[in-house]
Structure 1
Amino acid sequence: MHNKTTPDAAAAALTTLMHALIDIECTAGLAQKEEREEYTLFALECIRYTATWSLNDAKNILVADCENGEGGVCVMIVLIP
């Protein structure tokens, strides 16, 4: 039986990371446009939160796929030490 879980999980993980990169790019652009220290600090915290949340979410998707796979090839990437 062919395991279709892995491609779906990889796509979900990549989609999560792509959305995070779009959010981070927009937030950084707004921070650069504003050029106010308090806004820049807030934007950096938002960027950190978005990156951390997205990396954890992508990692959890891949780990769950590895744990629930039915003999398919599973490559687990540790995104956060």
Structure 2
Amino acid sequence: MKTHTPRPQLRRRHRRGQAMVEYSFINWALVLALIVMMSVDFGSGDQEMNVIDAFLRAYQIYYDSFYFVLNLPFP
């Protein structure tokens, strides 16, 4: 009489569930960190800004400097 061997599909199913739990936990931690970081104020005393304002300001500086260099009269 042969013994019943487990099929490979059953073993994969458990691993897939563990990966989903880990993925969910990592996403939860990232969303929580993003929410906490958005509430932190940056800037010096008179100038208050949160993370989104800081990123938008940095992007505006990058955008302005990029087009300044493109519009220079030198070839």
Question: Which structure features the higher share of helix residues?
Answer: 1
TM norm structure 1:
0.43
Q: Which has the larger radius of gyration?
A: 2
TM norm structure 2:
0.46
